[in-house]
Chains A and B, each alone.
Chain A
Amino acid sequence: MKKIRCNHLDQISECAKFVIDLSRHSPVWVFQGAMGAGKTTLIKAIASEMGVVDIVHSPTYGLVNEYEDLKGNSYYHFDFYRIEDLMEAVDMGVEEYFDSGKYCWIEWPEKIEGLLPEEFMKISIREVDRDIREICIMKQTNGGSK
């Protein structure tokens, strides 16, 4: 597990780079943190570092957003906040998205735990103080983490 401390919002692009370096080999990244911890904000910064040209906005209502970078690569941004039943996620085809090999950034993954692939990156955000966040990055494999 690796950790980085974000002491102020103006350090977020630095933190995003740190997360990207550790995670780029896995396509599926899950983001954990309480409401207001800054999941969408961190994903915005990551997308910007990765060259996404679309506006990154919260997918709570639409469940998934698709973005592109200048080369035309797709990125998927999920939010399972309002999912109540695992089958709803199956029905929208999340497994096909996760198997697509494209980067998938997932907020509120707790709601769909059983559908996550064998290997993925877990990024958890903890609020230390008003402007300060601690970001932990770890690789999760079936049944374990390192």
Chain B
Amino acid sequence: MTVNILAIESSCDETSASVISDGKVLNNIIATQSVHEKYGGVVPELASRAHQQHLIPVVHEAITNAGISKSELSAVGFTRGPGLMGALLVGGSFAKSFAFSLDLPLIEVNHMEAHILAHFIEDPRPSFPFICLTVSGGHTQLVLVRDYLDMEVIGETLDDAVGEAFDKTAKLLGLPYPGGPFLDRLAQEGDPKAFDFPVSSMKELNFSFSGIKTAVLYFLREKLREDAHFVENRKADICASVQHALIEMLLIKLKKAVKTFGITEVAIAGGVSANRGLRDALSVLSQRLGWNVYIPRLEYCTDNAAMIAMAAHFKYEKGIFCPLDVSPLAKMKIGIHE
């Protein structure tokens, strides 16, 4: 019999649903204007309430698009945490009532583990053990992955996430928020060695990204005093130099992790993996150091339900289910399974 799992993601801004069938992701529906047009609504921004308005349309779309009926589902997976409590509650409550009414088993998923398991949605897939660098607007983590459900955080940011550092330095340069992608685009035309920004050195495998924001602020202030048009005239060079420093900080720790654990299977997860500068630097490193680098398609890197479905699939195979009274967790650690 085919195992069909419905998965729901609602940890932050994105409302998403996905159906996975015998381990193959059939779809990955993320609330967008087009999904909403069918139901006569509009996409509100950011609000937790938005999840309530999005959820039924995206779930309906995922099930219909998969060409199955609700009675053919075998389980329901959902993001239990970490995330914004109000947002998690909406997805979690829906998943629980849906599972209860159809008498289906429920599977809780850790959002951060799911980001890593997104690597198993399609080929090429990394082989165990591997090191995963998860980089997004909210997270920067190095994780040692021994098996689908056996992971350990070996390093993380002690202040800002790297995506936030991109966005905030971009803001200082007058780019719109979130400015990471704009900064990346401008950086392609600039000289990464034009200016020197400090590369923070943290203990062990941890990161710190709050200092560079201040460094850029002081740098710009000083330069603007000499030349009022400094930012306009050198924007591409500033972007390239900031980007270079941020990527350097990521790669120093990634190289250290590879060396410490003697593992050359390297996976990148999270939305910042779309950054061109990071991708180029990784491709150079992988050739020079003989790493195998894996980066999922962007659709599976940003917040999405397909990765939740993938994680739910591995838990289903092991028979790991959760009771209907589980509560969402705003804080949820990787590798700790209750």
Cβ–Cβ contact A40 & B160, under 8 A:
yes
A63 vs B49: C-alpha distance in the bound complex, in angstroms?
A: 15
Which residue in B45, B85, B158, B330 is a CB contact (below 8 Å) of A88? B45
A87 vs B47: C-alpha distance in the bound complex, in angstroms?
A: 8
Known: A35-B168, A40-B160. A54 touches B83 (CB 8 A): no
B46 within 8 A of A: yes
Binding-face segment, A11-19, A24-32, A78-86, A136-144: A78-86
Q: Which residues of A contact B330 (CB under 8 A)?
A: 64-66
Cβ–Cβ contact A35 & B213, under 8 A:
yes
Known: A35-B171, A55-B156, A61-B164. A93 touches B46 (CB 8 A): no
Cβ–Cβ contact B12 & A61, under 8 A:
yes
B157 within 8 A of A: yes
Closest-CB distance, A33 to chain B (whole angstroms) = 12
Q: Which residues of B contact A35 (CB under 8 A)?
A: 168, 171-172, 213, 217
A66 vs B85: C-alpha distance in the bound complex, in angstroms?
A: 10
Known: A83-B46, A84-B46. A57 touches B158 (CB 8 A): yes
Chain B proximity mask over A69-100: 1 for CB below 8 Å, otherwise 0: 00000000000001111011001110000000
A62 within 8 A of B: yes
Closest-CB distance, B272 to chain A (whole angstroms) = 11
A94 vs B161: C-alpha distance in the bound complex, in angstroms?
A: 23
A88 vs B12: C-alpha distance in the bound complex, in angstroms?
A: 12
Cβ–Cβ contact A93 & B45, under 8 A:
no
B177 within 8 A of A: yes
Chain A proximity mask over B132-171: 1 for CB below 8 Å, otherwise 0: 0000111000000000000000001111110110011001
Known: A35-B217, A93-B86. A40 touches B163 (CB 8 A): no
Q: Is the interface of A mostly helix, strand, loop or mixed?
A: loop
Q: Which residues of B contact A91 (CB under 8 A)?
A: 47-50, 86
Chain A proximity mask over B83-127: 1 for CB below 8 Å, otherwise 0: 111110000000000000000000000000000000000000000
Cβ–Cβ contact B164 & A93, under 8 A:
no
Cβ–Cβ contact A88 & B46, under 8 A:
yes
A56 vs B85: C-alpha distance in the bound complex, in angstroms?
A: 18
Closest-CB distance, A45 to chain B (whole angstroms) = 12
Q: Which residues of B contact A93 (CB under 8 A)?
A: 48, 85-86
Cβ–Cβ contact B12 & A92, under 8 A:
no
A114 within 8 A of B: no
Cβ–Cβ contact B45 & A84, under 8 A:
yes
Q: Which residues of A contact B50 (CB under 8 A)?
A: 91
A91 vs B137: C-alpha distance in the bound complex, in angstroms?
A: 21
Known: A35-B172, A36-B217. A58 touches B161 (CB 8 A): yes
A23 within 8 A of B: no
Chain B residue with Cβ nearest A92:
B86
Closest-CB distance, B61 to chain A (whole angstroms) = 23
B331 within 8 A of A: yes
B214 within 8 A of A: yes
Cβ–Cβ contact A36 & B214, under 8 A:
yes
Given contacts A65-B331, A82-B178, A92-B47, 15 further A-B contacts (CB under 8 A): A36-B218, A38-B214, A40-B160, A56-B159, A57-B161, A58-B159, A60-B138, A60-B164, A60-B168, A61-B137, A61-B163, A83-B46, A91-B50, A91-B86, A92-B85
7 contacts between A and B (CB under 8 A): A35-B172, A35-B217, A55-B158, A57-B161, A58-B160, A61-B137, A92-B85
In the A-B complex, the 4 residue pairs with the closest CB atoms: A61-B138, A36-B217, A91-B47, A61-B137
